[in-house]
Chain A
């Protein structure tokens, strides 16, 4: 195979004549280390909270069903994921009430939020990228009023929740699925973002990367 010479450029076959670069062994182990470390960092606060809960339970009578509750002690991020999904699904269920303001124009949606929130959500039009804006609404997550912008992806709705969350530095996109929905979260410029959709996970990846990159 390596002796094959393309004297005629017409008989090039990329699959045969170009290199398939296989991952070096060093990369395999470094990726493994990184992924394990990331998983451990995420699990740690959960364990600590579980330990705290265990102590609390020990102090009072432990009711059997509480054990199940304790084992499932969710991380803060897990709780947000559930809250955001619930808020989004509720808005889809209420007939005709997906959005409080319906507009494809960011210059209509953005002013609508003014005066209703103690922060200014960044409203962007992504129609050119295949995610036209559909409107905006208010909801309640983590004990505060938050903004949800709604975008369309063909026949699917994509909800984008935003609220201020002080922290040092930004956080890259993390994605997950929950009850068949895809969720992504990241932090940028003092704001926490949660995106949720029933479209394919890969579509949400594009959506999140567009917003995070911009």
Chain B
């Protein structure tokens, strides 16, 4: 199965859950398989990811509608952006956190806590290495919006990590 890892990685970051990610990937492949042969290699991955994304959002709207909120791409980041670091690290002993592969856990949690609109562009850019243009076509948003969401998403992630590290130390 081509691009199965990419499909699963995106679904996992969107649903934030192993089982739900598997359901989403299965549905996406059933929708997509027939079309695969006719696509050029470089078209196939973004296209499959677009299907995965659509399946994931359909799933989110049904099961976790509060996850899917429209983003105001013109708004400046306010001091009290509600998504920043409101979830406490699951293990609150600072030494344990720092010693046990803490960085990965912290970064994963901070990224998971970002609103899905920022999370998805960061995952597609940083983990899937898609171009701005490809991200724009997968998410159905203009390239300018991709760039501004990436930049705001990185800022929000940094702020969330600052908060977590402060709490942990």
Contact = CB atoms under 8 A, between A and B. Distances in A.
A206 interface: yes
A39 B32 CA distance: 11
Given A10-B158, A21-B9, A2 B47 contact: no
Nearest to B129: A15
B102 interface: yes
A96 interface: no
Interface stretch (A83-91, A99-107, A110-118, A197-205): A197-205
Given A5-B102, A34-B30, A14 B107 contact: yes
Interface residues of A, number: 46
Contacts of B22: 24, 27, 30
A35 B138 CA distance: 23
Nearest to A5: B103
The B interface is mostly helix, strand or loop, or mixed, namely: helix
Nearest to A19: B108
Contact of A4 (B12, B30, B39, B103): B103
B127 A18 contact: yes
B85 to A, nearest CB: 11
Contact of A2 (B98, B104, B157): B104
Interface residues of B, number: 53
Interface stretch (A140-148, A162-170, A173-181): A173-181
Nearest to B39: A201
Contacts of A130: 140
B52 to A, nearest CB: 11
B116 interface: no
B5 interface: yes
B39 to A, nearest CB: 7
16 contacts: A5-B98, A12-B161, A14-B122, A14-B157, A18-B111, A21-B13, A27-B4, A31-B1, A31-B25, A31-B26, A174-B34, A176-B34, A200-B43, A205-B47, A206-B50, A209-B58
Interface of A: 2-7, 9-10, 12-15, 17-24, 27-28, 30-32, 34-35, 38-39, 42, 129-130, 172-177, 200-203, 205-206, 209, 213
Given A12-B161, A20-B9, 18 more contacts: A2-B103, A7-B165, A9-B162, A12-B107, A20-B127, A21-B8, A21-B12, A23-B5, A24-B18, A27-B8, A27-B26, A28-B1, A28-B4, A34-B26, A34-B30, A176-B34, A202-B50, A203-B137
